[in-house]
Structure 1
Amino acid sequence: VTVGYTYEAFFVSDGRAKVKKKEEEEPKTTGGKFVCNECGKQYATSSNLSRHKQTHRSLDSQQAKKCPHCNKVYVSMPALSMHILTHNLKHECPVCNKTFSRPWLLQGHMRSHTGEKPYGCAHCGKAFADRSNLRAHMQTHSTFKHYECTRCSKTFALKSYLNKHCESACSK
């Protein structure tokens, strides 16, 4: 998708015009959130939305980046940089010898051996081993449940929860 640009003048306090390039398809905001015009996901900042929009790029676009070690292709430099770290796995688990690129990944993995779940839900008390699982769980307490089962009409806050429901729990 190519996006055209327009130029808009902004006037600074001394009366001079400052020209700023802006995308014609300005991100829409709803309630202070920046919304992706391709998939509807919402972000708190325009820079987070901009980073997200890179995920919609095609892997065969000129902006795609190739890993020099294994030739996998990524839609952005940050994604490629994170991938490259996986080629240097120097943090090893003393229990099972699994290796990780970052010490915090090993630390999180260690909880699978200890059973520690330090992240608790403020609503229901359910505990989780990592923060991302807690964040996903918090969506279940949301009043916005946009994903509906076509068989039983039960609604879910996360598409992954709907998928899990459809695969195993839906009786209708």
Structure 2
Amino acid sequence: MAIHSVRSHRCDQCPKSFTSRHKLQSHINGVHLRKRDFKCEICGKAFLENNNLKGHMRIHSGERKYACDLCPKRFLFAGTLRSHMLTHSQEKHHKCEICDKLFLLRTTLNKHLRVHTGEKPHSCSVCDKSFRTTTHLAVHMRTHTGEKPLCCRICGMAFAHHKGRSVHMKAKHPQELVALGLIDDKGHLKCTDTVEMVASNAKY
């Protein structure tokens, strides 16, 4: 006989109910008390659950643990990977009326439109700069924090941005990249994350 979870723990501030007291308390803390105990030490953003903070930290570290099985792209979050997978199986129906570019998702089109409108809704809390996306804002924050989360695993030099690391690796370690098969005929790195992983393994 199948056992179904009973939502016996009811919130006294709204109609929602939960299967455990812990889930109920998390709901009250996050929704009604707006309690956020897990704070990012880099940008100050606070979260209800520690797992949410861990996921957020990937924005600062640049870690892209979710890989597409059909192309070389990697992503920070599982949800972003799921959205990306649709690009391999569905047609792009959302068209930009300004430049005719097509997009799979309406949300992606809306972000693209900011290129034309100049809208930059994400503001830096330290200076007066604004950005089109949260990712661009997170990268910008490194100029204030001095954070350099991206490392060249061949020599260990640290970088704040992917571009700086790529330029360094091609200029300082061309022979290693060729030997590892991680640079194509046009001089482009095949995948920076793969370079880190393979070069690190080759070093030890």
TM-score, normalised by the number of residues in structure 2: 0.39
- The structure with the largest helix share of the pair is 2
- The structure with the largest strand share of the pair is 1
**Higher relative contact order (Cα pairs below 8 Å, separated by 6+ residues):** 2
